[in-house]
Amino acid sequence: MAYLNFDSSKLTKFVHDNELAEMQAMVNAADSELRNGTGAGSDFRDWLDLPTNYDHEEFDRIKKAAAKINQDSKYLITIGIGGSYLGAQMALDFLHNNFYTREEETTQVVFAGNSLSSTYLQDLIELVGDADFSINIISKSGTTTEPAVAFRVFKEILIAKYGEEEANKRIYATTDANRGALKEEADANGWETFVIPDGVGGRFSVLTAVGLLPIAVSGADIDELMKGARDAQNEYVDADLTKNEAYQYAALRNILYRKGFTTELLENYEPNMRMFSEWWKQLMGESEGKDQKGIYPSSANFTTDLHSLGQYIQEGLRNLFETVVKVDKPTKDIKIPSQEGNLDGLEYLQGKSMDWVNTKAYEGVVLAHTDGGVPVMTVHIPDQSAYTLGYTIYFFEVAVGISGYLNGINPFNQPGVEAYKTNMFGLLGKPGYEEIGKKLNDQL
């Protein structure tokens, strides 16, 4: 039995008994495209065997670099956008205390270059203050606007604080192995470099140096992270839908999509899993939203968002289905205390554990939403360990690969993200985009 438990038992009123089996032939074809490289985007499938076929020498260098950063820096400023930061921030939130701050033996990992907010950047500058810090710049090209701007700002501060020679020892570049502006600058200045593999797209890159360096700096166990992913790689290899729960999830979400359930809400019951949802939204949305089709990925954090979204989910437009990622054993638990009187009406809960209450809330919500016409699936994960996270990452990665091919699209490109960049460059007056900028300004 798989380490994770995928529960689709609440779909009986939405999916007939025969429907999943009827998907088997299409799943076999999708699996063949994915495994044999015959499908669109086949050059970007190296994440498939990444947990076993990764650069072990680089992996060791990542751990050594993390140890050095822990010794000489209070902060690691991780600069990147999209897949260049979402996986790392998701992992840090998932694996650490909800109010995670720098501990004695580790460095506080903070993020920049994921927006163009001047206020955010200045707030971060003020947070770092006079403390020792290092930079991890993550970019395939080195010319993506948001991280390039942030890197300029913090590189200038770094050089002013330490001088150019020492500053160069505090910059770690995760970039292309052979080419690009960042690679050229890194080689010229002697920065330690780590590789973004050519065959791994940004949204699949958390288990490369892109995610592993900041995760290791935070004090998390990247060996266990990779072990979990490796075991998942071995588990989710059989195309038989009766045996492969990641493929079941992919097939069932496509069945629901074809019935008009076009929005998927990823839900959890732990506040420190919000960034997991953000990582998942890029993975799913950028992989599947093409050719005027695809499931729209959204998210909610329960029970919190039940007080804002619960009404819509229960009685709004019936185009939603839910996938819950439920932690079966919380990292910590507390008992609800007893007290005299019952003014707050909680006498019936005193002495109960909060996780028991949280789980009963989950069960009640599933029943209510199902009765209200919302299909619900649950991915039960045992805990919030590094091993579990690696396993869960791989579950969703292989699922979206299959799901994309089932829907007849290339799950590994992202042609639509260039449209806004072209407009932005034109409006900013970037060389080569002047005519576009002139036309756009006339429209404003």
pLDDT digits (tens, 9 = 90+) for 151-185: 999 999 999 999 999 999 999 999 999 999 999 99
Report in angstroms the alpha-carbon separations of 321 from 260, 314, 433: 10, 11, 42
For 228-281, how does the pLDDT look when each residue is reduced to its tens digit (9 = 90+)? 999 999 999 999 999 999 999 999 999 999 999 999 999 999 999 999 999 999
- Residue 413 is predicted with a pLDDT of 87
Catalytic residue among 146, 270, 286, 322: 286
Q: Which CATH class is domain 48-220?
A: alpha beta
Q: Is 286 a catalytic residue?
A: yes
* 333: three-class secondary structure by DSSP: coil
pLDDT reading at 104 higher than 60: no
Spatial neighbors of 165 by CB under 8 A, at least 6 apart, are none
The 3 state secondary structure assigned to 23-77 is: CHHHHHHHHHHHHHCCCCCHHHCHHHHCCCCCCHHHHHHHHHHHHHHHHHCCEEE
Q: Is 224 a catalytic residue?
A: no
pLDDT reading at 426 higher than 70: no
The pLDDT of 325-354, averaged and rounded, is 92
Token pair for 213? 């360096």
- Residue 432 is predicted with a pLDDT of 72
The pLDDT of 46-62, averaged and rounded, is 96
For 387-401, how does the pLDDT look when each residue is reduced to its tens digit (9 = 90+)? 999 999 999 999 999
pLDDT reading at 434 higher than 80: no
- Residue 100 is predicted with a pLDDT of 76
Phi, psi of 142 (to 5 degrees): 90, 0
- Residue 102 is predicted with a pLDDT of 57
Q: How confident is the model at residue 427 (pLDDT cuts 50, 70, 90)?
A: low
What fold does the segment set 5-39+226-407 form as a domain?
Rossmann fold (3.40.50)
Domain boundaries, the chain: 5-39+226-407, 48-220
- Residue 186 is predicted with a pLDDT of 96
Catalytic residue among 329, 335, 352, 421: 421
Average pLDDT, the chain: 93
Q: How confident is the model at residue 420 (pLDDT cuts 50, 70, 90)?
A: low
Cα separation, 110 vs 132, whole angstroms: 13
Cα separation, 95 vs 59, whole angstroms: 20
Domains 5-39+226-407 and 48-220 share a fold: yes
The pLDDT of 70-80, averaged and rounded, is 96
At how many degrees (to 10) do helices 145-162 and 118-128 cross? 30
In sequence order, which ranges of 178-273 are alpha helices (DSSP H)? 181-189, 209-217, 222-235, 245-258
* 405: three-class secondary structure by DSSP: helix
Burial class (CB in 10 A: 0-12, 13-18, 19+), 300: buried
pLDDT reading at 150 higher than 60: yes
Cα separation, 109 vs 333, whole angstroms: 26
Q: Is the dihedral of CA 95, 287, 404, 205 positive or negative?
A: negative
Q: Is the dihedral of CA 246, 252, 254, 256 positive or negative?
A: negative
Question: In which residue are the tokens 């091993």 written?
Answer: 387
Specify the amino acid at residue 141: S
- Considering the chain, what percentage of its residues have pLDDT values greater than 70? 95
